[in-house]
A and B are shown apart, each in its own frame.
Chain A
Amino acid sequence: MSSTTNSPTHHTSTIGAIGAPSRRNTELALLVFAVVIPVFAYANVGLALNDSVPPGLLSYGLGLGLLAGVGHLVVRKFAPYADPLMLPLATLLNGLGLVVIWRLDQSKRLSNYAEAAPRQLLYSAMGVALLAVVLIFLKDHRVLQRYTYISMAGALFLLILPLVPGLGANIYGAKIWIKIPGLGTLQPGEFAKIVLAVFFAGYLMVKRDALALASRRFMGLYLPRGRDLGPILVVWVISILILVFETDLGTSLLFFGMFVIMLYVATERTSWIVFGLLMSAVGAVGVASFEPHIQTRVQAWLDPMREFELSRAGVQDGVVHSEQAMQALWAFGSGGTLGTGLGQGNSDLIGFAANSDFILATFGEELGLAGVMAILLLYGLIIERGVRTALAARDPFGKLLAIGLSGAFGLQVFVVAGGVMGLIPLTGMTLPFVAYGGSSVIANWALIGILLRISDTARRPAPAPAANPDAEMTQVVRPS
């Protein structure tokens, strides 16, 4: 290409964004694919368990198809330039989760637990409804910026709710649920995740220059001034308090990790990551030294076999011993590379929470390493699209919000998958979209809704600029 610079005053080439196609048809095609796969899985489970195509196949397929269709139409109408991949990926994960939850419902070993699949389908419908609400009523994500400090108050309120006497429910050691009479339980932390991301984004957008520039250089690291350490200390203290009072390592890690990620993105200072890692390590070790619930979790992580034997022996020493962690590891092991096939594993031996916190173990056993890799890649793709959205977003608030939400999503997947596979101590968190749990599914659909809104704004083609008369004049004109 000729890069002529005929005169210093005239630019020779104009650089402009290529008009992005809306990609809605791509999304539709992928959605059809994303509905067909779980239907296939559903038929597969039925054939393996009962030698017949399950009677609910049609209604299940129609249900999932309806959800996907509604989601697609809402996106087509209200966010036409949004990312084409997020909705299909979320739909596929949700559909696969439904199938595995239904498969665990069929297990005779788990027959004393209530049937979960129909409820999960209901929750998914509520989730897609919330996605629609977000897309219809949130015309511009920058509106959220106005509610920065209200979001902070809201998030703190949501986080404290489970500790309110009479409202909070202590389920197997972790106090992260609240009981709503007549409706069941709710995990406010899942919603606090989104609200907190809004607060962090709004706060960091205003304060990031102070945090990035006012610092001294010491041993290759930028040390922030003492008073700028304030916010990170406050968030750290809050996450430690969550750890102490709600005894939930996952939630604590999620919030602190999300803050550190957003701080790093906002300031481009590696020192924040170093500080964050040090502080979370100190906090976690400190709390684990006196909190028996956390100690049990760490014990079960370091030596799951001992925990299994204690549980089998029925040792009563004040703490709950559980064989879940070991059973989950066995499930992964017996799955091997290609798995035992849907409906043919024994992951139901995990017992309680087999369809929520431990649902990945069922994937590991019945789909094998190949299947788990694919599932993790699907999560990775959602996160990639979130980060891509942040890169494309033009306003700093949208950038930070998209990074915060996708970072929180990624951390959650890491905490759950790492816990179930024995990489880190297990904590009670749900695998987004897949695991059984109303709060999680609904909150994550809302999260996808916000990401879709930001990506729609980011990818919407800018109005064409007026033609530059100079460019016309300086064109090479040769009669030939």
Chain B
Amino acid sequence: MSELTLTVMRLGFLAVLWLFVIVAVQVIRSDLFGTRVTQRGSRREAGRQQQAARQAPPQQRQQATGGRRGRNAPTKLVVTEGTLTGTTVALQGQTITLGRAHDSTIVLDDDYASSRHARIYPDRDGQWIVEDLGSTNGTYLDRTRLTTPTPIALGAPIRIGKTVIELRK
């Protein structure tokens, strides 16, 4: 047997041996399945995210040129006062409804809130708007009672009964 053939076989064998080790490690990697977190309304949100993704390219270009909007866009809604203090909701382009009705995004356990009290939604430019839905006791942005859909500034308190929420980065 020629020296060359044996050298090729020797190196080939080592390569095959290591290939096996690498394949085995790949199997381990694909074997790591942790836990699955099923979220309420996740299907709907996922659908929205997909839509958003489809519309994303032009927006991203806008943001790339504008820049400031992207950096200052709020990412979450935080309840700062009331029974739900500390609750956060991630803002992902979905409409957030507030009220005592149990199908609201944030269910308010508050005698001064109406069942469908207010909603918070992004307009076409991505600016978040709060709109009172004809509630009995009204929705306040800072100290003013809302009469029309109003853009929300970062950190401005929105008061509904005893509950105060604000948008944060």
Q: What residues of chain A have their CB less than 8 Å away from a CB belonging to chain B?
A: 1-8, 12-18, 20, 23, 26, 30, 33-34, 37, 40-41, 44, 47-48, 51, 84-85, 88-89, 92, 338-342, 344, 367-368, 370-371, 374, 377-378, 381, 384-385, 471, 473-478
Contact = CB atoms under 8 A, between A and B. Distances in A.
Question: Taking each of B6, B14, B24, B39, which has the highest tally of chain A beta carbons within 10 Å of its own beta carbon?
Answer: B24
A471 B35 CA distance: 18
16 contacts: A1-B42, A6-B87, A7-B84, A12-B40, A15-B35, A20-B33, A23-B27, A30-B27, A41-B13, A47-B9, A85-B27, A85-B28, A338-B14, A374-B14, A381-B28, A473-B102
B29 to A, nearest CB: 11
B13 A342 contact: yes
B23 interface: yes
Contact of A37 (B17, B83, B92): B17
B14 to A, nearest CB: 5
Contacts of A3: 39, 88-90
A210 B26 CA distance: 41
Interface of B: 1, 5-7, 9-14, 16-18, 20-21, 23-25, 27-28, 31, 33-42, 44-45, 83-84, 87-90, 92, 94-95, 97, 102-107, 109
A47 B39 contact: no
Contact of A475 (B18, B28, B37, B40): B40
Contacts, number: 149
Nearest first, the 7 A-B pairs at minimum CB distance are A341-B10, A476-B41, A6-B107, A374-B17, A18-B33, A2-B90, A18-B36
Nearest to A341: B10
Contacts of B45: 1-2
B38 A92 contact: no
Contact of B23 (A18, A30, A340, A475): A30
Given A44-B9, A47-B5, A37 B16 contact: yes
B20 A92 contact: yes
A26 B12 CA distance: 24
Q: Which of B17, B35, B109 is packed against the most chain A CB atoms within 10 Å? A: B17
Contacts of A6: 84, 87, 104-107
A18 B12 CA distance: 39
Contacts of A478: 44, 95, 97, 103
Contact of A1 (B14, B25, B83, B90): B90
Contacts of B1: 47-48, 51
Contact of A16 (B27, B35, B95, B103): B35
A378 B36 contact: no
Contacts of A4: 40, 87, 89, 105-106
A34 B92 contact: no
B109 A15 contact: no
B89 A2 contact: yes
Contacts of A41: 13
A2 B92 contact: yes
Given A26-B27, A44-B9, A84-B27, A477 B103 contact: yes
B39 A1 contact: yes
Nearest to B45: A2
Contacts of B20: 30, 33-34, 37, 92, 374, 378
B89 A476 contact: no
Contacts of B21: 374, 377-378, 381
Given A47-B1, A476-B44, 4 more contacts: A1-B39, A7-B107, A48-B1, A477-B103
A39 B27 CA distance: 23
Contacts of A2: 39, 41, 45, 89-90, 92, 94
Contacts of A18: 33-36
B93 to A, nearest CB: 11
Contacts of B97: 478
A215 B118 CA distance: 59
Task: Indicate the member of B27, B87, B90, B102 with the most A CB atoms within 10 Å.
Answer: B27
Contacts of A34: 20
Given A367-B14, A476-B40, A48 B6 contact: yes
A475 to B, nearest CB: 5
Of the listed residues A2, A338, A473, the one surrounded by the most CB atoms of chain B closer than 10 A to its CB is A2
Contact of B41 (A15, A370, A475): A475
B41 A17 contact: no
Given A85-B28, A341-B6, A367 B36 contact: no
Contacts of B11: 338
A153 B102 CA distance: 64
Contacts of B12: 40
A98 to B, nearest CB: 15
B58 to A, nearest CB: 23
A447 B18 CA distance: 25
Contacts of A16: 35-36, 38
B53 to A, nearest CB: 15
A15 to B, nearest CB: 5
Contacts of A367: 13-14, 17
A390 B49 CA distance: 39
A448 to B, nearest CB: 15
A476 B102 CA distance: 9
Contacts of B7: 341
A7 B99 CA distance: 12
A368 B28 CA distance: 26
